Structure 1
Amino acid sequence: MMDTANALSPRSFITVSEVWVPEGDRLVLAEGSYGALGAFEQTSMQTSFGYGEGLPGKAWAEARPVVFKGFDPVSFKRKEAAQEAGLTAAVALPVFAGDRLNAVLVVLCGEDETTTGAIEVWAERDGLLMLDDGYYGAAKHFEWVSQHTHFPKGQGLPGGVWAAQTPMLFRDLGSGYRFIRSESAGAAGLTTGLGLPVPVPGGQTYVATLLSARGTPIARRFEIWDAREARLGKDGGAVLIDGICEREGPLWSEDNPRRAQIWQGPIGQVLGSGVPVVSSGETIAAGYSTMVALPIHRGEEIAHVVAWYV
């Protein structure tokens, strides 16, 4: 599971990515990317979570995305190992296919004076999306602005995802008129936003947003794959419908759409299993150390896959 980071790459806002899957009545580690944090990786491999236990178990039991900041030993089982590794916050995104939990994706971050970015969870209350919780690193003013912002359906990145029920990418956050918090985003150095619906049993609306900054990007490449049958016809699989890459330029065109077939490559594994993939090595594009691919279900079927590369 050990991942070797590209020394020439900017330091990522996300330090660790993990996939936890149900095995009997517990969640066990399926795979993860830990960079140089070998001790934390070993602790994680020896850990499992019951229903409602720890961060993954809480996301499972409460059927919602969960943010932990300032770990305490009661709620975060790996607190000591996390502190030794310099980790300070974690976000868990449950992956439900209908009422069935397929997995929980957990990302963990470390904080210092220069670590900037945002992972946000928005929840619908009284017809508006309100900030449920989030982790912002050093972007304290942007965090304050976010806490005092709400979105009707169709407005901004969270509201756009809510209205369309599809993942969305926003570019140029600091200058884009569609991004409501553009002034504070520009001041924080935020450049790219990925928004995604987080479907859960019971119908409560949750939207997660990943906002990437130049100095400590969440990722250097983002992709959105469409797996809906209406777009794909009889071929199945998924087609790349949007993407951003800092070094390769456009990743697709109408004349040459990129396709992924079921069980072929990391995207195909997600399509076949319905479980997120954290991948490294030769299975991902050259020049990247880690890829995370996350399925977005509509009911029991996969509608989209979002992927990001570090």
Structure 2
Amino acid sequence: MMDTAVDTTATRTFIEVSEVWAPQDGVLRLAGGNYGHRTEFEAISGRESFGKGEGLPGKAWAEGKPIVLKDFDGSYFKRTEAAKEAGLKSAVAVPVFDGADLKAVLVVLCSDGEGRTGAIEVWAEHDGLMMLDDGYYGAAKHFEWVSQHTHFPRGQGLPGGVWASQTPVLMRDLGSGYRFIRADSAGRAGLTTGLGLPVPGPDGKACVLTLLSARGTPIARRFEVWDARAAKVGSKGGAELIDGICEREGPLWTDDTQQEPRRTSAWQGVIGRVLGTGAPVAEKCAPGIGPGYASVVALPIHRDGAIAHIVAWYC
């Protein structure tokens, strides 16, 4: 695998902070996160807890779907002042359910810097079409307007493709790709890479999360998709890396077809911990671990009582 070092100081990513809130004694408590230099916000978060329906993590728990909060002022967000001091303005909370059982809530927070372009979208099924439920786009205002006025039948575009396959989908070259319906406006916004993933909820309704990345302020510098379905990995379990993309040129792994597929098992590395716990991970990368990135988020997708896929992104 081509794990060359990456200069993590070159570009700030669209997502600045990632954190995992896990159920404990009837409330959500901080189970991990990557805060970068925002040590005060991290300390305040570590003292916080959320009941069902309380704050952003609690609201995602109660509603059973991803929640977008574009501005903290005047909202139900409990850490508004601390977030302001840390330069954070908006957030998206993604609940991870295994059937009706909540495993954790992943929260990603974005800064208030001008000119930061990207998109975190939530799509939901309405009357046989995938419609935009909400999204945060930074400076990509025209692309936001186009998205609000676009809908997808099953199998069409990134949201429709994820809906039809019930699997994560990576798309390259959004501005020129014929499969990406909003290619023209994506090109104008500088969006280049898209990751779509199903977000199963306790009500069984179709929901898709899309992360759209621009070169100037990428969502992340590397994406990976792991398949954990028994049909793929066999009776021994584990997960196999089936797709990925990173900011440097060339394939994510070598072209040597004689090599064994990249696999991992429960409790082996970050992906293995997700397999073992069924919950997401958000943390700083340990020195010497991974391909030279500063932080990692790994998010499981549960289906039929087991983890079907894991998506991971590195910054």
Provide the C-alpha distance between the structure 2 equivalents of 1:165 and 1:255, rounded to a whole number of angstroms: 30
Correspondence for 1:286: 291
Structure 1: stretches of 5+ with no match in the other structure:
none
Match among 272, 279, 302 for residue 297 of structure 1? 302
Shift, 1:111, TM fit: 2.6
Query: Within 5 Å, which residues of 2 pair with 1:190-201?
Result: 190-201=191-202
Correspondence for 1:309: 314
The answer on 1:166 being equivalent to 2:167 is yes
Provide the C-alpha distance between the structure 1 equivalents of 2:91 and 2:309, rounded to a whole number of angstroms: 24
Query: Within 5 Å, which residues of 2 pair with 1:152-301?
Result: 152-247=153-248, 249-252=250-253, 255-256=258-259, 257-279=261-283, 280-282=285-287, 284-301=289-306
TM-score normalized with structure 2 length: 0.94
What SS class does the counterpart of residue 281 from structure 1 fall into?
Answer: coil
Correspondence for 1:117: 118
Provide the C-alpha distance between the structure 2 equivalents of 1:299 and 1:232, rounded to a whole number of angstroms: 16
Shift, 1:245, TM fit: 1.4
How has the CA–CA distance of structure 1 residues 74 and 216 changed in structure 2, closer, same or farther, with 3 Å as cutoff? closer
The answer on 1:54 being equivalent to 2:58 is no
Shift, 1:255, TM fit: 4.2
Query: Within 5 Å, which residues of 2 pair with 1:32-47?
Result: 32-47=33-48
Provide the C-alpha distance between the structure 1 equivalents of 2:120 and 2:65, rounded to a whole number of angstroms: 15
CA RMSD of aligned residues (A): 1.5
Shift, 1:285, TM fit: 1.1
Contact 1:18 1:31 in 2 (8 A): yes
Contact 2:55 2:77 in 1 (8 A): yes
Provide the C-alpha distance between the structure 2 equivalents of 1:255 and 1:209, rounded to a whole number of angstroms: 34
Provide the C-alpha distance between the structure 2 equivalents of 1:234 and 1:101, rounded to a whole number of angstroms: 26
User: Which digits, 9 at most, give the CA deviation of each residue in 1:6-54, with x for residues without a partner?
Assistant: 6533100000000000001100000010111111111101110001000
Query: Greater shift after overlay, 26-35 or 233-242?
Result: 233-242
| Identity across matched positions, percent | 68
Query: Greater shift after overlay, 275-284 or 260-269?
Result: 275-284
Provide the C-alpha distance between the structure 2 equivalents of 1:231 and 1:19, rounded to a whole number of angstroms: 28
What SS class does the counterpart of residue 119 from structure 1 fall into?
Answer: strand
Query: Greater shift after overlay, 232-241 or 94-103?
Result: 232-241
Contact 1:70 1:88 in 2 (8 A): yes
TM-score normalized with structure 1 length: 0.96
The answer on 1:102 being equivalent to 2:103 is yes
The answer on 1:148 being equivalent to 2:149 is yes
Correspondence for 2:87: 86
| More contact order relative to length (CA 8 Å, sep ≥ 6) | 2
Provide the C-alpha distance between the structure 1 equivalents of 2:70 and 2:145, rounded to a whole number of angstroms: 16
2:264 maps to amino acid: A
Provide the C-alpha distance between the structure 1 equivalents of 2:52 and 2:239, rounded to a whole number of angstroms: 33
What SS class does the counterpart of residue 272 from structure 1 fall into?
Answer: helix
